[in-house]
Amino acid sequence: MLEAEAVYNEVMEASQERASRLEETLFVSENFQQAMLEVMQTVRAVHDNLLSQDAPGADPATVQEQLRELQVEFLQLLVILQPLVLLLCCDAVGWATGRVSVW
């Protein structure tokens, strides 16, 4: 009887640990999905903006202004991508070490 109880307790503990890991994974995946949607929206906006820009100017002042606009778009994209990259890197370390992070 004691052996059955020990097995039961072991199964219950393993089940609870598995449920906890699944909940952590679900939380991480929801964060990833939200971050990915934000990145996709930003990439679409940058794409639309690039398509709507005038052809490169002929004079240096116009070209410099167009380069500044492009740099602003690039920086905005980096700002949006940074949390996603951090999420991916931190969670990759967590998965590799067996310690999934919960944000």
Q: For 43, how many CA atoms within 13 A lie in the half-sphere containing its CB?
A: 7
At 39 the pLDDT is 81
Query: pLDDT higher for 90 or 66?
Result: 66
Q: Judge contact between 22 and 101, C-beta under 8 A.
A: no
pLDDT band at 94 (very low <50, low <70, confident <90, very high): low
pLDDT band at 14 (very low <50, low <70, confident <90, very high): very high
pLDDT band at 19 (very low <50, low <70, confident <90, very high): very high
**Pairwise CA distance, residues 46 & 73, whole Å:** 6
Residue 84: which of 46, 26, 29, 39 has the closest Cα?
39
At 102 the pLDDT is 46
**Other Cβ atoms closer than 10 A to 35:** 19
pTM score above 0.85 = no
- C-alpha to C-alpha distances, 10 to 2, 4, 17, 86, 99, nearest whole angstrom: 12, 10, 11, 36, 21
Q: Judge contact between 103 and 27, C-beta under 8 A.
A: yes
Q: Judge contact between 56 and 66, C-beta under 8 A.
A: yes
Chain-centre distance for alpha carbon 101: 13
